């Protein structure tokens, strides 16, 4: 069930590169078709969406953002955001896996170009279509992404890491893990680094299973991660910088796009249900139509939110100062909170429009999976944590005049 959008769609206007963008869209749609065919069993069995990810590899979609000189296609943020959206209309887990992978690729592309080890690794990602997972959540720190417990230890040019990685999406299926860690055993927990470990350099000991309400196909189980490698695998930029410039904005943008896709598919189902109901009552507008109207208008707001943050990020990408400005950092965090809350409300409005037909699991209008999947959005880095961290920034920053006049 696709939510067709035309070329003027604000989520993906890559001006001056229409053919390229159309090509990426066609490849994404090929993956989405496979994902849609398997979405029910992926959700029911909480299994990795192997068919869709294989098709993603066959379509060469995993490395589109890597620069051309390293073997990639140099695709824009808009292209990646658009792929996330298209996949999410078909299968939330497939889309979230793609989003998480691209966040790691973006970190490597921006923060490691002057490091030969990472340049070689990026070329490998292109040639072998490697799938990257991420590990930030850890034992006692839980969702506090800006603190790490496990330290990197050093023996000459070699490094080791052992980490209680309580959540690693598709950890068992990934070709590499990009992980945060404390810089050294004597470093404070906020002095973090980001390290890339290819599959052959780590082992995973199962710690926690992934039997959840939604996003079941992400298979985000917990493991003890034991890794060793070369010092060069550590990205040279400190994680503090990587987090502010790439990890957080990229995560919040691509996740928001995934949530928009889930919400769009829910709206599409609600609209189909309304038409179906109206036909059965000789064209009378069903009473639940008010919820459809609400869902539609909230979806427009959500799309506007994602698009305006995308444009803002694209503009800021060219300036380190713009990326770390208080204003941009505040927007990066607020987009996550706002987009997740809006997406939940859209899916719930669509559900109210469908009534029992949405509640049932055996109708074409069922919305159980959408509700379960979208409920992950406010807790995927808890909104409360984000809002309470934003408190000091809200006090320090001046409210722009245009906002209040």
Ligand X SMILES: Cc1cc2nc3c(=O)[nH]c(=O)nc-3n(C[C@H](O)[C@H](O)[C@H](O)COP(=O)(O)OP(=O)(O)OC[C@H]3O[C@@H](n4cnc5c(N)ncnc54)[C@H](O)[C@@H]3O)c2cc1C
136 near ligand X (CB under 6 A) = yes
The site string for ligand X over 80-99 (x = CB under 6 A, - otherwise) reads --------------------
Q: DSSP assignment of 252-317, as one string?
A: HHHHHHHHHHHHHHHHHHHHHHHHHHHHHTTTPPPTTHHHHHHHHHHHHHHHHHHHHHHHHHHHHT
233 near ligand X (CB under 6 A) = no
Nearer to ligand X, 222 or 286 (CB): 222
Nearer to ligand X, 215 or 353 (CB): 215
Q: Which residue from 102, 169, 245, 260 is in contact with ligand X, where contact means CB under 6 A?
A: 169
Cα–Cα distance measured from residue 383 to residue 255, given in angstroms and rounded to the nearest whole number: 13
173 near ligand X (CB under 6 A) = no
Q: Which residue from 218, 233, 245, 332 is in contact with ligand X, where contact means CB under 6 A?
A: 218
376 near ligand X (CB under 6 A) = yes
Number of residues that bind ligand X (CB under 6 A): 22
Burial (CB count within 10 angstroms: exposed 0-12, middle 13-18, buried 19+), residue 275? exposed
Q: What's the angle, vertex CA 348, arms to CA 284 and CA 293, rounded to 5?
A: 40
Q: How far is the CB of 46 from ligand X (least distance, A)?
A: 12
Q: What's the angle, vertex CA 396, arms to CA 390 and CA 399, rounded to 5?
A: 90
220 near ligand X (CB under 6 A) = yes
340 near ligand X (CB under 6 A) = no
Quick one: three-class SS letters along 182-193?
Answer: ECCCCCCCCCEE
SS3 state at 401 = helix
254 near ligand X (CB under 6 A) = no
Strand partners, 133: 177
Cα–Cα distance measured from residue 164 to residue 152, given in angstroms and rounded to the nearest whole number: 13
Span from 56-64, 260-268, 346-354, 377-385 in contact with ligand X (CB under 6 A): 377-385
Q: How far is the CB of 403 from ligand X (least distance, A)?
A: 25
215 near ligand X (CB under 6 A) = yes
Cα–Cα distance measured from residue 214 to residue 219, given in angstroms and rounded to the nearest whole number: 10
Q: Which residue from 31, 46, 109, 168 is in contact with ligand X, where contact means CB under 6 A?
A: 168
What residue is closest to ligand X based on CB? 143
Q: How far is the CB of 217 from ligand X (least distance, A)?
A: 10
E strand map for 8-144? 132-135
134 near ligand X (CB under 6 A) = yes
381 near ligand X (CB under 6 A) = yes
Nearer to ligand X, 209 or 384 (CB): 384
Q: How far is the CB of 255 from ligand X (least distance, A)?
A: 9
- DSSP class of residue 71 equals T
Contact between residue 310 and residue 331 where contact means Cβ atoms under 8 Å apart: no
Residue ranges in contact with ligand X by CB under 6 A: 100, 133-137, 142-143, 167-169, 215, 218, 220, 376, 379-382, 384-385, 388
């Amino acid at each position: 069930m696709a939510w067709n959008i035309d070329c003027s769609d604000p989520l993906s206007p890559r001006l001056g590169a229409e053919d390229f963008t159309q090509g990426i869209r066609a490849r994404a749609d090929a993956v989405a078709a496979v994902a849609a065919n398997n979405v029910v069993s992926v959700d029911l069995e909480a299994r990795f969406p192997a068919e869709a990810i294989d098709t993603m590899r066959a379509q060469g979609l995993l490395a589109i953002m890597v620069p051309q000189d390293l073997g990639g296609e140099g695709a824009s943020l808009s292209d990646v955001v658009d792929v996330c959206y298209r996949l999410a209309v078909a299968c939330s887990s497939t889309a979230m896996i793609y989003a998480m992978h691209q966040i790691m690729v973006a970190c490597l592309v921006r923060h490691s170009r002057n490091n030969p080890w990472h340049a070689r690794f990026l070329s490998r990602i292109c040639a072998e279509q490697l799938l990257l997972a991420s590990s930030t959540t850890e034992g006692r720190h839980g969702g506090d992404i800006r603190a790490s417990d496990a330290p990197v230890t050093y023996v000459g040019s070699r490094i080791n890491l052992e980490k209680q990685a309580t959540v690693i999406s598709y950890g068992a299926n990934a070709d590499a893990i990009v992980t945060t860690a404390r810089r050294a055993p004597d470093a404070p927990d906020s002095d973090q680094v980001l390290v890339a470990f290819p599959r052959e350099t780590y082992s995973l000991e199962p710690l926690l299973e992934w039997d959840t309400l939604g996003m079941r196909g992400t298979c985000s189980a917990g493991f003890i991660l034991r890794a060793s490698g070369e010092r060069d695998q550590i990205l040279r930029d400190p994680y503090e910088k990587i987090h502010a410039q790439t990890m957080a904005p990229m995560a919040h943008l691509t996740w928001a796009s995934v949530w928009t896709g889930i919400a769009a598919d829910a709206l599409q189902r609600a609209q189909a249900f309304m038409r179906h109901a109206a036909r059965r009552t000789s064209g009378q507008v069903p009473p639940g139509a008010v919820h459809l109207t609400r869902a539609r208008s909230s979806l427009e707001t959500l799309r506007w939110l994602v698009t305006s943050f995308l444009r803002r990020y694209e503009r800021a990408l060219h300036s380190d100062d713009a990326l770390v400005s208080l204003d941009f950092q505040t927007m990066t965090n607020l987009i996550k909170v706002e987009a997740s809350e809006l997406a939940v409300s859209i899916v719930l409005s669509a559900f109210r429009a469908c009534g029992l037909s949405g509640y049932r699991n055996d109708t074409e209008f069922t919305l159980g999976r959408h509700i379960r999947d979208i409920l992950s959005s406010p807790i995927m880095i808890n909104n409360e944590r984000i809002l309470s961290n934003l408190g000091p920034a809200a006090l320090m920053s001046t409210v722009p005049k245009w906002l209040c006049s």
